[in-house]
Amino acid sequence: MVMVADTTRCRCGNHAQRQLTDVVWAESGTTYSIRNVPIWHCNNKACCEEIIPSSVQLNVSFLADDMRAGKLSSDTQYRELF
C-alpha cells in the first residue's frame, strides 16, 4: 500500500496524522531499535487508534530479520525495502 496523503481517516471518523516513531524490542539480551517508522495516529484525544500500513509492517519485519542476522546494526533507521 502506498500512502500519498499526509492524513487519513481513523475508524472513529476523525483525521489521523502521520507521525514518526521508534520500534524498540529486546530479544536474547540484545536491544533492537528501528528509528523513524511512519505511523498514522488519530487526532481525537479520546481515540487511541494507530494505523500502520501493511507495507510499513513488512518493511519493519524485513529490517528486523536483517538486524537479527547481523546484516544491519541493532540500532538502524527505517527505510523502504518493499
pLDDT in tens, 50-80: 889 899 999 999 999 999 999 999 999 998 8
At residue 74, what are phi and psi to the nearest 5 degrees? -75, -10
Q: Does residue 65 lie within any of the structural domains?
A: yes
Q: Which residue has the higher pLDDT, 8 or 20?
A: 20
Count of domains forming the chain: 1
Count CA atoms within 13 Å of residue 44 on its CB side: 13
Q: What would the mean pLDDT of 23-42 be, rounded to a whole number?
A: 95
CB contact at 8 A, 67 and 32: yes
CA 39 to chain centre: 5
Is 1 within the bounds of a domain? no
Tell whether 2 is covered by a domain. no
Give a yes or no: residue 35 inside a domain: yes
| Coil, strand or helix at 27 | strand
| pTM for this entry | 0.80
Q: How far apart are CA 10 and CA 73, in angstroms?
A: 34
Range of the structural domain that residue 27 is part of = 7-77
In a domain, 82, yes or no: no
Residue 30 sits in a domain whose CATH number is 3.10.20.860
In a domain, 54, yes or no: yes
